[in-house]
Amino acid sequence: MSLSAYVHLHSLTFLVSNLCIGHSRQLKGYIDTDSLEIDAELYIKIPFIPEIPLARVKGSLKNGVLVSFNVVGVIVGTARFYLKNTWEVWMYLDATILGKSIAKDIYLFTIPH
């Protein structure tokens, strides 16, 4: 997994790549570091197919943000974004990707504070 992050006054802009083993998933967006609100886009990249947007992730990480997605024949499932240990951003992914099921918690990054 790789992370590119830029910290601005009261916000964090980020790109997280390769969220799981296998096909590449990306999360691109920003977090307001005061309110801990996230506004991001979740994508999947499969070889030889253009990047596919899955869901907009928008809401409070304090309460958790749940998104659902369904790209027929490619991926179906949900992802929940939440905080653990106050500043760590995690994603619980429960999905079927090209017939393969995955259900696991994935650490994304720690919000600088």
Condensed to tens digits (0 to 9), the pLDDT of residues 40-66 reads: 999 887 777 788 899 999 999 999 999
The pLDDT of residue 15 is: 61
59-86: average pLDDT: 95
Tell me how far apart the alpha carbons of residues 23 and 11 are, in angstroms, rounded to a whole number.
Answer: 29
As a CATH number, domain 2-110 is 2.40.128
Instruction: List the domain boundaries for the chain.
Output: 2-110
Which residues are CB-contacts of 90 (< 8 A; sequence separation ≥ 6)?
A: 81, 82, 83, 84, 105, 106, 107, 108
Tell me how far apart the alpha carbons of residues 112 and 87 are, in angstroms, rounded to a whole number.
Answer: 8
Tell me how far apart the alpha carbons of residues 3 and 24 are, in angstroms, rounded to a whole number.
Answer: 13
Tell me how far apart the alpha carbons of residues 65 and 37 are, in angstroms, rounded to a whole number.
Answer: 10
15-32: average pLDDT: 68
The pLDDT of residue 17 is: 61
